Amino acid sequence: MDVLGVLEWIGVIVCLILALTGLIPVIAAAATFVVIPFHAWINHYKKAAPYLPRVAIIVPAWNEGAVIGASIDRLMALDYPKEALRIYVVDDASTDDTPVVVANRAEQYPGNVFLLRREQGGQGKAHTLNHGIERVLAEDWMEALLIMDADVIYLPDSLRRMTRHLADPEVGAVSAYIREGSRDRNYLTKFVSVEYVLSQPAARRAQNVLGAQACLAGGAQLHTRENLVAIGGRVDTSTLAEDTITTFETQLHGKKVVFEPHAHVLAEEPRAVDALWKQRLRWARGNVSVTARYSKVWFRPSRVHHLGAWTFGIVWFSLWLLPLIMVTSAIGLAGLLFLQNELAATVFRVLWISAALAYLFVLILGSLTDAKTSRKELGHILLFPGIINMLVMITALFPPVTLVWLPGLFGITLSTEALFVLTLAIYIWIPFSMVVAWLARRSERTRAGRWLAPALIYLAGYGSLLCAITFDSYLKELAGAEARWDKTEKVGRVTAN
């Protein structure tokens, strides 16, 4: 074999490896969901028991006048002893009527509601939380601490369902199921609702089974007093992921973190791509700092915790690096197309048929974990991967459909060159879909944005939108951009349902 032949085969091998990296997130997702049924046997309910500790609830609030009153009323309506409940609203120097609303509720519920005012605001949620934590730890009354957001609504039995896990002294923290609860959902909040079904009652059940939780829900995290003191008596203020760091630190200190899927908390989520982008960019950049901070934990099994397990590490990195994996896999496929056309077609079919089967499995099993929400959002469950991604899946399963029959419907016969270009476009569509999602964000600022942004998201897929945001976090980190806490605007659309 001559030198060119050797170089060609080296290129084929390299491209094949790059292309097959696309199987990593597929296998990781499928493997995660495979363990969900085991939650029926491997769970914490055997050690849970009726337990009603004295709970201090800290609610960070900045300009939450539209929602804070209703949130307090809902908390006071919880199926929980009122003498064991205190609500501390930490006002972060609001410029609206937040302190007035809270002060009125303090008069309405004496001994249960307290207003803590910060004169210097704008430092972020973590600083606001620490102001309240310092206050409650200075007193002996509190036995458990619930951290929540100002706009969320706890269903009446939610807190009681969470505290029962604290009957086990090995548990340090408990998280609830955050559901999208807007009364008038639009296309984007419906997608968020589907995402939350797949990522919480589904994926976090799997994390219960595996013994390692990635993150306590920021708006629903319950800590024992002992755990809070053990991790330093405050939440981290150096990153945008204080909830994830608190979750990791709890487990690193030898305490269990439990997800309670039957404790439902309703939240208002962003209704526009730009608002969602800012929220998720904050989360994604926080995960970058978490990944770096715990570099000595990954893939190092420990008897104290399960964060170093290979199973947990593969799931974490397959999600965190998903946009990069999408790009490298597409590059590999494109390279194979130029070097070995037939091999490229085989690898393409393997990747996309595997993805289609895994998605179908994840979709069915995930939907069963919250059948009520899934029935409401059936259309958006089906459209979750995006219309073009569904066409690509069909191409992998039945190549003649899109490469021969579909063009034939319009009287088009593809030449060899045109077929090659179309095939290349299909192979590199996944990374390009992130560009389409970015265009959806940009289009919102135009007159046509009202209909163009949804159309682009339906075409590209909600998953591509999330990947685009994560990719943006890579760019922001590489550029050293300032990590800012951008508050998500809430207007009180949540209703109990």
Q: What are the pLDDT digits (tens) for 72-128?
A: 999 999 999 999 999 999 988 778 888 888 999 999 999 999 998 887 666 678 888
Give 416-474 as a DSSP string.
HHHHHHHHHHHHTHHHHHHHHHHHHHHHTTSTTHHHHHHHHHHHH-HHHHHHHHHHHHH
* Annotation: CATH topology of 47-307: Spore Coat Polysaccharide Biosynthesis Protein SpsA; Chain A (3.90.550)
pLDDT surpasses 60 at 488? no
Confidence at residue 486, expressed as pLDDT on a 0 to 100 scale: 60
d(CA 230, CA 322): 34
pLDDT surpasses 80 at 173? yes
Residues 142-152 pLDDT 10s: 999 999 988 88
pLDDT surpasses 70 at 262? yes
Confidence at residue 496, expressed as pLDDT on a 0 to 100 scale: 59
Percent of the chain past pLDDT 70, that is, above it, reads 93
Residues 205-217 pLDDT 10s: 999 999 999 998 8
pLDDT category, 12, cuts 50, 70, 90? confident
d(CA 225, CA 223): 6
Beta-carbon contacts of 155 under 8 Å, excluding residues fewer than 6 positions away, are 263, 264, 265, 266, 496
pLDDT surpasses 90 at 5? no
pLDDT category, 494, cuts 50, 70, 90? low
Give 39-107 as a DSSP string.
GGTSSSTTT-------EEEEEEESS-TTTHHHHHHHHHTSSS-GGGEEEEEEEES-SSSHHHHHHHHHH
Span 249-263, average pLDDT: 96
pLDDT surpasses 70 at 20? yes
pLDDT surpasses 60 at 1? no
Span 387-399, average pLDDT: 86
d(CA 200, CA 260): 10
pLDDT category, 497, cuts 50, 70, 90? low
Residues 215-245 pLDDT 10s: 988 889 999 999 999 999 998 888 888 899 9
374 within 8 A of 367, measured Cβ to Cβ: yes
Residues 425-484 pLDDT 10s: 999 999 999 999 999 999 999 989 899 999 999 999 999 999 999 999 999 988 887 766
Span 149-170, average pLDDT: 94
d(CA 369, CA 64): 32
Longest dimension (CA), the chain: 88
